[in-house]
Structure 1
């Protein structure tokens, strides 16, 4: 089969022929991959900025497809089911797993996930444990199903950040890549209307506006002027960029008892400058949010309700490429002409 392989030793990336995976464990599932999303975390991995496998492997941790084989103990899915795959792995026996924090599992977690430490979805077939394979709702296409993983991360972000938040809460989103756009879609679906989206790229600002939410979409400089001239202040800020300057601006924009959630992935060496006094004086709260514990089924539920109104690729700024055109896909992301790229690996499965 064809697979896009990454070699961390050389930072080399290329499509290769490798064997189709087979059932090895009683709870294994073989998925024929339909669509697989290229994530910002993947870009950090390709640049050597994020921990991943030490040996050549197949990335891709956001994917959908059809079940083609199952192990003898698999009960939750069957051959022919349309599914989305959660990349998380956990041991079930460490203190974090025992205390419902399996996303911090000593043998699992984001750095050991499928598509990060283990072969993932940038291939025609994937082997994955049945406990992380989820059937798609009937009204969600395989193409839309590739968004289940990032949406599940946003659902966990809502839990970590500010839910329940009353309608009318002033919300600031910094960054209008795909994560910022998904946050935009989810917040609008939940009824929030007082949302400001800040993005330095004019192209990405225009992409965000495609969703027709009526949200205020402005540049960082325009936010500075709005704070100065209109006394704008946010109750909640969610950084979707991982950019230290954006995080600093978001923090400075918070009102009393405001909350900042750091959601976007920053390189490990990134640093921000904060004022402990301002945190003290304003009683600010700063939280992080990483991956998606307990939220994948809920993500599929909200996707079923959101449907085409919010999960349209054009509105979200998503472009689709064949796997062999990965270099063009990376160039599109580098130029910020798309919010996200998804590989159509077996689109005829739809």
Structure 2
């Protein structure tokens, strides 16, 4: 099959790889019809994520058609159109039984915190991802779901991560009716977090970013107020001024560690493989939320040695809530919201790129060219 292959920082290309095969009775092989490049893929692309191995295929957002199933699979059959959550999880361990699919205890021998993630380095289990013609899907009876006939495939694709994660970020904020919510980051996840905040009762939603085209999307798609932090002397002071000098009730960090990384990390990453960026957005969240408020974090963070203002968070009496999104847990609500017309996820898609041109797609997305917000990869375009 043809697949995207990592060859080192800033080096990806399409190569021939062996088509994945059934390795366990509960596996399925899915022929990918759509995949996406996620902002967190840029941490891998820039070489800032530990144990990203040459030869790996990225891609944790994908949908497709079941090509083959193992003998134990009961819920799927060849020909089914399926959406696959980015979490790889067993469905039966202590954490899965409590809906914490992103913290599955049985799928990632390399970590005790995070479970498995498709196409996201060996620190997340070493599972090849969906930026390919085919992908192996373990635990096929508990992860994938058949796409409803009425659901647009682009909407289904975004439910596999970006939409579910944004919705989860708003959920973690424990938003109450009339709350002022600030979302840091106007990428797809931030846009979905902002739009979801209204569904949870927000009285005011403010999105902070530095790219005008993304802020304009936040205004038109999420109907949010916008602040360009590059135009502010101090974005925290600006947030305080616009919230009666109290701070927001809820701040959602949809940025995480900046995917570009800082200078020190670029110098040292080849040797130490430090996670990209620093917790600037997280510290803005801690400073910009009111005393007794809530900070929600679902931006991508990894091993990190920069200082977080934990003392300030403690002294302000903040509630900090965070996790990787347990994607499938969000699907029933999201399907209702999409069917009722409250969310139109596909509106954030800006580019469709054939798999053969994925190197150009990564460059386009990484360099923020052509007002790129969300690129979709089409394996057989």
**Residue of structure 1 in register with 2:293 after alignment:** 258
Greater displacement, 130-139 / 302-311? 302-311
| 2:353 equivalent to 1:321 | yes
Alignment of 1:1-350 (within 5 A): 1-7=1-7, 12-52=11-51, 54=53, 56-91=55-90, 96-97=95-96, 101-108=100-107, 110=114, 112-116=116-120, 117-129=126-138, 130=140, 131-150=142-161, 151-159=163-171, 161-163=172-174, 165-211=175-221, 213-220=222-229, 221=232, 224-228=237-241, 230-231=244-245, 233-243=247-257, 244-266=279-301, 268-269=303-304, 271-274=306-309, 276=311, 278-292=312-326, 295-298=329-332, 300-302=334-336, 304-305=338-339, 307=341, 309-313=343-347, 316-336=348-368, 337-346=371-380
Residue 223 and residue 281 in structure 1: after superposition, are their counterparts in 2 closer, same or farther (change >3 A)? closer
Q: How many Å apart are 1:73 and its aligned residue?
A: 2.4
Structure 1, unaligned stretches of length 5 or more? none
| Residue matched to 2:263 | none
Superposed CA deviations along residues 207-236 of structure 1, whole A, max 9, x for unmatched, are: 22231x432111222663352365262101
CA contact under 8 A between 1:239 and 1:246: conserved in structure 2?
yes
TM-score under structure 1 length normalisation: 0.85
Gaps of 5+ in 2: 109-113, 121-125, 258-278
Please give the alpha-carbon distance, in whole angstroms, between the structure 1 residues aligned to 2:136 and 2:333: 22
Taking the aligned partners of 1:307 and 1:82, their CA distance within structure 2 comes to 22
CA distance in 1, matches of 2:157, 2:32: 10
Contact 1:137 1:304 survives alignment (8 Å): no
The DSSP-based 3-state class of the residue aligned with 2:87 is coil
Render the CA deviation track for 1:297-319: whole Å, top value 9, x for unaligned. Answer: 33652454365852233xx2532
Cα distance, 1:270–1:35 mapped onto 2, change above 3 Å: farther
- Structure 2 CA distance for partners of 1:226 and 1:255, relative to 1, 3 Å: closer
Q: Write out per-residue CA displacement over residues 302-341 of structure 1, whole angstroms, 9 at most, x where no aligned residue.
A: 454365852233xx25322111222321222223222222
Instruction: Indicate if the aligned counterparts of 1:263 and 1:288 stay in contact, CA closer than 8 A.
Output: yes
Provide the TM-score with structure 2 as the length reference: 0.79
Q: Distance in 2 between matches of 1:91 and 1:133?
A: 12
Q: CA deviation at 1:121?
A: 0.5
